[in-house]
Structure 1
Amino acid sequence: MASLKEVRSRITSVQSTQQITKAMKMVAAAKLRRAQDNILRMRPYAQRLNSILGNLTALAGEEVVSEYAEQREVRRVLIIAVTSDRGLAGAFNSNVFKGVTAVVQERYAAQAAAGNVAYMAIGKKAHDFFNRRGPLVGNYTHVFSKLSFDTVREAAEQAMDGFRAGQYDEVVMVYNEFKNVATQVVRTEQLLPLVPAALPAGALATTNVDYIFEPSKEEIVRTLTPQSLKVQLYKAVLESNASEHGARMTAMEKATENAGELLKSLKLTYNRTRQAAITTEILEIVGGAEALAASR
């Protein structure tokens, strides 16, 4: 049985840990509110932009073909993995790593065997993980320190330039989508080449109007397509940012609860140890008194 000093030391240590986890939960909750507001504002814009581009492409038909929609034999692949800069968020980061591993095994096993799968890591945890496992493209460990569209745009432009130059035949994103505080879902989405958006049945019949485009359809598609790709990646990063704070908040809440349960157990152990020590002292006193009385 541990001594009273050892049990007191453990109680003090657990109490300190519990205070830290409480503070981290409160910080994550404050950051989550801002991150949740950002992604809720971004989703309608991203969806509407994709819808406009899809409708325009469908109406234009084969007259307008974007360079980002070129379908090629998939020989070289770029996987963009979005994680966090810090840990203590439960299985948040490991779920992304599992998602990347799964998509490589299921879709790009031949390319991986040939060494033609490259990784772009957004977030320090992804950088540390993939730096030891394959060719790493770019360094975007600074994105979350000052999260903005401009910082994410650099990563999107590098992926887009690589696709246009033929360095990659396909680009996919793996990230955590924010559902709520307790739920984050790993998503795998194809960024490049663009997948044509299919209009609902009968949509062309109702929208087949003689539109006047200003500037031309080609110019509109040429301008909207890169913007849409950058917004898609930015949206994925915002989803991941909100998911990170939700996962950390949940993890710290569970850690605080576990610390409370451990404290109860340690205090019970402390009381039992203290009672045993008192009982032993009483027995020693009684035994000494009886021995003294017997010697008289």
Structure 2
Amino acid sequence: MPSLKDVKMKIVGVGKTKQITKAMNMVASAKLRGAQARIERFRPYAGKYRQVLAELARKVEDGAHPLLAEHQEKKRCAIVLVTSDRGLCGGFNANIVNAALKLAAEKRSEGMDVQFACVGRKGRDAIRSAGQEITLSYGDRMGSVDFALASSVALEMIHGYETLALDEVWMVYGEFVSMGHQPPRNLRLLPLSAPEAGQEEEAAQGAHCEYLYEPNEEQLLAELLPSYVKVQVYRGLLDTAASEHAARMAAMDNATRNCNEMINTLTLLYNKTRQASITSELIDIVGGAEALNG
């Protein structure tokens, strides 16, 4: 049985850990409010963007823009992996990385070479440890997500697709559904197609609207398609940022709860150890007294 001093030191150590987890929970909660507000404000804009782009894509012929054209031979695929820079958020990053590796395995089974563009230090380190090819990396940037970062990533992918260096571009990120649910999601960025661009919004809208465009559809597509890719990448960054804080908040809440349980267990052990020590001392005293009387 451990000594009283050892048990007491363990209780003090777990108590300090509990203070840290509670503080991290509060910090994550404060950051989550801002990140959640940003993604909730941006989602209607991204949804309307997809709806307008779907309407435009239906009015033009296939191949009207390089980003709409399917490459005949698909040999190279890029996966934009969006994770957090820091850990201590449960299995959030591991789930996203596993989803990306699974997608990479599927593309390799189709005969394609796969390369990764990593946004977030945790994803970059995991992909590097798995021995995968990384062509683009942005580390320590998820703490302050901005549109410039999304634009930089999107322009690299667009350039690769237009120059035929890439035949498909996917993005894997953590989608913020609720406080307790942040599943990984796979989204095909390139090539774009009309059903993928607006299927969800059209189903929600129900009625079909007819629009008149000035200038013509081809000129508008040349401006909107690159912006659309940027918008989708930015939405993935915002979703992942909000999901990270929600996952860390839940992880720190579980850690605090585990600390409380451990303190209760150690306190019970301390009381039992103290009782056993007192009993042992009483037995020694009684034994000594009996020896003197005898």
TM-score, normalization by structure 2? 0.92
Deviation at 1:103, TM superposition (A): 1.4
Which of 116, 138, 148 is residue 146 of structure 2 equivalent to?
Answer: 148
Q: Secondary structure at the match of 1:187?
A: strand
Percent identical pairs in the alignment equals 40
Which amino acid letter does the alignment assign opposite residue 122 of structure 2? K
Q: 1:63 to 1:186 in 2, by over 3 A?
A: closer
Shift of 1:206: 6.3
Matched, 1:125 2:93: no
2:256 matches 1:256: yes
Q: Deviations over 1:196-224 (max 9, x none)?
A: 237769x9x96557x3x323322211111
Residues 289 and 226 of structure 1, relative CA distance in 2, 3 Å threshold: same
Which residue is equivalent to 1:65? 64
- Structure 1 alignment gaps of length 5 or more: none
- Are 2:39 and 2:238, in contact at CA under 8 Å, matched by a contact in 1? yes
CA contact (8 A) 1:119 1:135 kept: yes
Task: Evaluate the alpha carbon distance shift between residue 284 and residue 259 of structure 1 in structure 2; reply closer, same or farther with a 3 A threshold.
Answer: same
Alignment match, 1:181:
179
Q: Deviation at 1:187?
A: 0.6
1:61 positional shift? 2.7
- The answer to whether the 8 Å contact 1:84/1:93 transfers is yes
One-letter amino acid of the structure 1 residue matched with residue 67 of structure 2: Y
**Equivalence for 1:247:** 247
* C-alpha displacement of 1:101: 1.9
Whether contact under 8 Å (1:57, 1:64) holds in the other structure is no
Q: Amino acid of the residue matched to residue 131 of structure 1?
A: R
Deviations 1:56-100 (Å, cap 9, x if unpaired)?
Answer: 221x23187121111012210001111100111001000011101
Distance in 2 of aligned mates of 1:130 and 1:206? 43
Contiguous gaps of at least 5 residues in structure 2: none
Give the secondary structure class of the aligned counterpart of 1:35: helix
Matched positions, count = 286
Once residues 149 and 128 of structure 2 are traced to their aligned partners in structure 1, the CA distance between those partners, rounded to angstroms, is 21
Distance of 1:13 and 1:207 partners within structure 2: 64
Equivalents in 1 of 2:140, 2:276: separation in Å? 56
Query: Could you tell me whether the CA contact under 8 Å between 1:173 and 1:190 is conserved in 2?
Result: yes
Structure 1 residues 149 and 4: CA distance shift in structure 2, 3 A: same
What's the CA shift for 1:156?
Answer: 1.1
What letter corresponds to residue 120 of structure 1 in structure 2? Answer: A
Pairing 1:109–2:101 present: no
| Shift, 1:110, TM fit | 4.3
Aligned residue type for 1:170: E
1:71 partner amino acid: E
CA pair 287-149 structure 1, distance change in 2 beyond 3 A: same
For residue 190 of structure 1, what is the aligned residue in structure 2?
188
Aligned to 2:271: 271
Contact 1:64 1:221 in 2 (8 A): no
In structure 2, how many angstroms separate the alpha carbons of the residues matched to 1:23 and 1:146? 21
SS of residue matched to 1:40: helix
Change (3 A) 1:166 1:242: same
2:85 is paired with a residue of what secondary structure? Answer: coil
Superposed CA offset, 1:204-255 (max 9, x none): x96557x3x3233222111111111100010011001100000000000001
Mapping 1:155-170, distance limit 5 Å: 155-170=153-168
Q: 2:293 — aligned with what?
A: 293
